Structure 1
Amino acid sequence: MAATPKLRVLFFDVFGTCVAQRTPVADELWKAAREALESDGSSISSEVRTKAMEMEWNKEGDKFVRASIAEHGTVDWKAVDQHRIELLPKLLARRGLIFPREDASTSELQVGEGSLWTEPQLKHLGLVWHRLTPWPDTCRGLELLNRQFSTVTLSNTYNDLLKSLVAHSSIPFTHVYSADMFQSFKPNPKVYLGAAEKMGVKPEECALVAAHLSDLKGAKACGFYAIYVDRPLEEKTPELRAENIPDMVVKEDEDGFVTLAERLGIHVR
C-alpha cells in the first residue's frame, strides 16, 4: 500500500460508510410492524423482517438516480428523497403488507383496511434515511480523528438531509458537505475537487474514507488518498476489488474508524 501522505482533511462517504443502511431500515420496518400488531394483542414472526430485508428499497432508489442522470445529466437529490418516501408504500403493497384503498382518487397511495400501518405511520417510516444508525465505531473514531484532521461529509444527497442525519445521530463531523453544493454527484471530479477547494486544501492533502470502491476510484483519480473501510453488505461493486484501488484498507473484522485513527498515528488508548 502507498505511504500515507501529509493529510489535512478526511472526507467521508456517509451512507453505508458512517451509517448502516440495510439493517436499520429493515429493523425500523420490523419494529413498526410489531408495534402495530401488538397494539391489537397480536404477535409477529420474523417473516415481516425478512420481507423488509429483501425489499431492496435503496436499490430502487439507485435506479431512480440513474434514470435522472440519463435524462437530465444531473440529480435533484430532494426529488430522490421524495421518491423514496413515495416508493415505500408501493413496495410494501407488493409484499402484501399494506393494502391500497380501492376508492383512492389520487396518484398518492391511500392505505386501506387490513394494512399494518396508517398513512401517517408510513410517512414517518419514509423518513428513516434521516435517522439511520451510525456504525458502533463511527462516533468514537471521528472524535479521535478530529484531534488531527478536519472531518467532512461528502455524500450524494442534499445538505438539509445530511445535516438532519448528522444532528440526529450526534456524529461529530467538523463540516457537513454534500454533492448538491457542487451541482453534481460523485464520482464526478467536480464534487471531490470542489470540496477540496472549499476546504482550502490541495487534493493531495485530502483522503476519502468510503465503503464503496467506485467512490474511492473517483476520488483517487482526482489525487485523493483512498481509504477503504469494509462494512458488512455495503459494497455495491465487488468486481472492483481486483483493481487494488485503496491506498489503505480497514478490514471488516477490525474496529472501523477507531482502527483508522490508530493507523493515522493517533493515540487511541
Structure 2
Amino acid sequence: MAAAPQRIVDAVLFDTFGTVVDWRSGVTDAVAAIASRCGVEVDAAEFALRWRARYQPSMEPIRNGTREFVNLDELHRENLIATAEEMGLPVDRIEPADLEWLNRAWHRLDGWPDSVPGLAELKRHFIIGPLSNGHVALLTNMAKHAGLLWDVIIGSDVIRAYKPDPNAYLGAARLLDLPPNRVMLCAAHNSDLAAARSVGFRTAFVARPQEYGPTQQTDLHATDAWDVIARDIRDLATQLRDHAT
C-alpha cells in the first residue's frame, strides 16, 4: 500500500495587511469620506500612505520594551492624529464618532480577489489563520467583513508581541501546539518571511505589487529562496496541494 501523501506543514498562517487584504484602497476611501463630510480637501491616497508609514515606527517602543503593550487600534489612533496634523485634516472638526469610524477603517478592509477562494482551498488541507500585528477584535471584524475563512485568530494582544519580534511567531506556534517547522508564514513582505524563517518557520512569498500603489518599489518579487514562491493565494494552495501528491 502506498504511503499517504505528506504535507510539508500543518498550519499556514498569513500576514494580513497587504498580503490578504488591500489596506490602501479601504483606508483611502474612508479618509475621502471623512474629508468630504468635513468639507475639506485632502489627498486621501497620500494620507493613507503616510498613516501606514507610521505603523512600524509606532510599534518599535513596544518591541524594545520602553512602552507597555497597547493594541493596534490605539497605535492607529495616535498615528491618525499625527497624520491629520501633518496633512491639514482638522481633527477638531471631526465628530468623535466619525473619528472612531475612520480609525476603524482597518477593521473593514476587503480581500484581494484571490484571497477568499485561495483560503477556502487551503482550509481543506491545513489549519489557516492570521499571524498579524492586528489584535483579536480587529482581525475578527476584518474576517467577518471580507469573508476570510480562518480556523483560528491569533491576535497580537494574545501573544503581546509585534512582529518581527521572534515571540510573535513562536507564540503562534505554541498556541497551535506545533513545532515551528510545521508552521508556514505566507507574506508579501520579504522582511517578515526572513524573521519567520529565523525561528524555524517554513515560508511562502506572494507578491502584491499594488499594495502601496503604482509607485511601489519594494517587495515586488521574492528576494530570497523561500520554500514557496506563489503568484497569489490560489497558486499557493495549488503548489502546497501538489507538493503532497
Question: What TM-score do the two structures reach when normalised by structure 2?
Answer: 0.81
Is residue 58 of structure 2 the alignment partner of residue 64 of structure 1?
yes
Number of residue pairs matched by the alignment = 234
Is residue 205 of structure 2 the alignment partner of residue 228 of structure 1?
yes
- Counterpart in the other structure of 2:112: 135
Aligned pairs for 1:241-260 within 5 A: 244-251=224-231, 256-260=232-236
- Please list every run of 5 or more consecutive structure 2 residues that lacks an aligned counterpart in the other structure: 1-5
Aligned pairs for 1:103-142 within 5 A: 110-111=92-93, 117-142=94-119
- Counterpart in the other structure of 2:69: 76
Residue type of the alignment partner of 1:137 = D
- Counterpart in the other structure of 1:30: 32
Alignment root-mean-square deviation, CA: 3.0
Offset at 1:142? Answer: 0.6
Offset at 1:13? Answer: 1.1
Offset at 1:36? Answer: 5.8
Is residue 148 of structure 2 the alignment partner of residue 182 of structure 1?
no
SS of 1:175 mapped into structure 2 = coil
The one-character-per-residue Cα deviations of 1:127-164 (angstroms, maximum 9, x if unpaired) are: 11111111111111111111111102111232222222
User: How many Å separate the matches in 1 of 2:75 and 2:199?
Assistant: 31
Question: What TM-score do the two structures reach when normalised by structure 1?
Answer: 0.75
Given the superposition, is the C-alpha separation of residues 5 and 203 from structure 1 closer, same or farther in structure 2, using an over 3 Å criterion? farther
User: How many Å separate the matches in 2 of 1:83 and 1:183?
Assistant: 14
Residue type of the alignment partner of 1:60 = R
SS of 2:13 mapped into structure 1 = strand
Offset at 1:10? Answer: 0.5
Aligned pairs for 1:158-169 within 5 A: 158-169=135-146
Given the alignment, which residue of 72, 78, 91 partners 2:83?
Answer: 91
Given the superposition, is the C-alpha separation of residues 20 and 204 from structure 1 closer, same or farther in structure 2, using an over 3 Å criterion? same
- Counterpart in the other structure of 1:263: 239
- Counterpart in the other structure of 2:176: 199
SS of 1:265 mapped into structure 2 = helix
SS of 2:140 mapped into structure 1 = helix
Given the superposition, is the C-alpha separation of residues 192 and 237 from structure 1 closer, same or farther in structure 2, using an over 3 Å criterion? farther
- Counterpart in the other structure of 2:43: 48
Given the superposition, is the C-alpha separation of residues 237 and 96 from structure 1 closer, same or farther in structure 2, using an over 3 Å criterion? closer
The one-character-per-residue Cα deviations of 1:31-83 (angstroms, maximum 9, x if unpaired) are: 4434665xxxxxx98x63344345x10112322211333452x66242x4223
> How high is the sequence identity, in percent, across the aligned residues?
28
Larger Rg: 1
Bigger mean CA deviation after superposition, 127-136 or 239-248: 239-248
Given the alignment, which residue of 120, 129, 134 partners 1:152?
Answer: 129
Residue type of the alignment partner of 2:229 = V
Residue type of the alignment partner of 2:234 = V
Q: Is the 8 A contact 1:203 1:223 kept in 2?
A: yes
Residue type of the alignment partner of 2:57 = K
Residue type of the alignment partner of 2:241 = G
Q: Is the 8 A contact 1:225 1:247 kept in 2?
A: yes
Offset at 1:260? Answer: 1.0
